[in-house]
Amino acid sequence: MQNMNYYYDFSGQKFNHPLSLSINSFDRKVFSRQTSLELSYVLKGSYEVITEHISHSLTEQELAVIAPDEIHILKKLQPESVILTIHIDFERIPENMLGSCKNLFHTILCTPVSNATLLRSLKEEIRRLLMVLFNGDSADGTDLFALNEIMMKILCIAKKQRNTPFEQLPVDSTHHENYVRAIQFIDRHYQENIHLSDIAKTLSFSTSYTSRLFTRYTGLSFVKYLSYVRVRESLEDLLEGKASIEEISGKCGMPNSKSYSQIFKELYGITPSTYRKRFVKNLLPLPEQETRPMEFTQKQKELLTKVFHLDDTNRLLFHAEGIQIVSDGDTLLCTLSDARQKELLLSQKEDDIVLTIRPSCTGT
């Protein structure tokens, strides 16, 4: 049974918008791959981020940027862990706006020690996004223009970064490579009647070695992992609402609707029919064209306010290496590191005051 505490879902995809934000305490069981850019920010506890190339633990207020099409999983390391995830789906952004920029993004981990500047910049945009969604709890709904502006700002910040060395998987690289090949085989053939021996034969492994790979890296048997993948891949058909549960279970490769429903409840905490009903209910028009606010619970608000200082009047306006400017009411606060290496010039142009910061000529 999944933990539904802190669960929140702002799904722009319901309205064909690229941006979505979710908060949950789910324990991921299977690897994912999507066309979107993903930002996963740990609100509470810790998670292990595993991709084809890295394995690294993230603790509270640390962030993972996952590149589009990167096979990955975020595994919960503590029972009460909570994570905030943002997806920006490039398939829902017109090509003439972004071109083929999807290839400009890299998977990168952001901690106070590694990529700290990027962490601060993205955290500020997440804070701004949450403020927009908090305000969207009102009858006026969510500010679409503000949403779009923040989304593009996140893309601009993330795309400038280059990949940096990470802690590699603490296992032999050959085992890791073989494991990823096995996962990719399942992703391609999950609808078929495949067995552990099929993977072993295709990849030239022994059956016992293949079985140990799944147990070692997922904590699941091959059969259980395959079932989880099949259920995960069935979600689009389930939410479309046209096919019966029996038809969906057959299409995704499950033996029958009973086993499908059992695995579904293990993964998502509710039955597939209840999951579908909740989704359809969210799409139903309200009387007299009322808006339906996507509301945060008080528990969610308290956690987010604590992490992102949403009740703080200070606002980060600008941040670059060694320079930070925040607003505090009517006051602007400028903080410089290595101030002796910089020259400050204050000038006035009509009603505007201009502060120029540049490297010092003398460096003293």
Query: What is the per-residue pLDDT across 249-276, written as a single tens digit (0 to 9) for each?
Result: 999 999 999 999 999 988 888 899 988 8
> What's the pLDDT band for 289 if we cut at 50, 70, 90?
very low
What mean pLDDT, rounded, does the chain reach? 80
Choose between 363 and 200: higher pLDDT: 200
Choose between 169 and 231: higher pLDDT: 231
Buried b (16+ CB within 10 A) or exposed e, 119-144: bebbbbbbbbbbbbbbebeeeeebee
Of the candidates 253, 263, 256, which has an alpha carbon nearest to the alpha carbon of residue 189? Answer: 253
Residue percentage of the chain with pLDDT more than 70: 78
What is the predicted pLDDT for the residue at 313? 54
CA distances from 100 to 133, 164, 191 (A): 29, 22, 30
Q: What is the mean pLDDT of residues 203-221?
A: 85
Inform me whether the pLDDT recorded for 329 exceeds 70: no
What is the predicted pLDDT for the residue at 4? 57
What is the predicted pLDDT for the residue at 266? 87
Domains defined for the chain, CATH in brackets: 8-159 (2.60.120.10), 173-269 (1.10.10.60), 314-359 (no CATH)
**Rounded Cα gap, residues 166 and 8, in angstroms:** 31
Inform me whether the pLDDT recorded for 19 exceeds 60: yes
Q: What is the mean pLDDT of residues 188-213?
A: 91
Sign of the torsion formed by the C-alpha atoms of 166, 170, 171 and 176: negative
> For the chain, where are the E strands, in sequence order?
8-11, 19-24, 36-44, 46-51, 55-59, 63-66, 72-76, 82-89, 108-110, 314-320, 323-328, 331-336, 342-349, 352-359
What is the predicted pLDDT for the residue at 286? 44
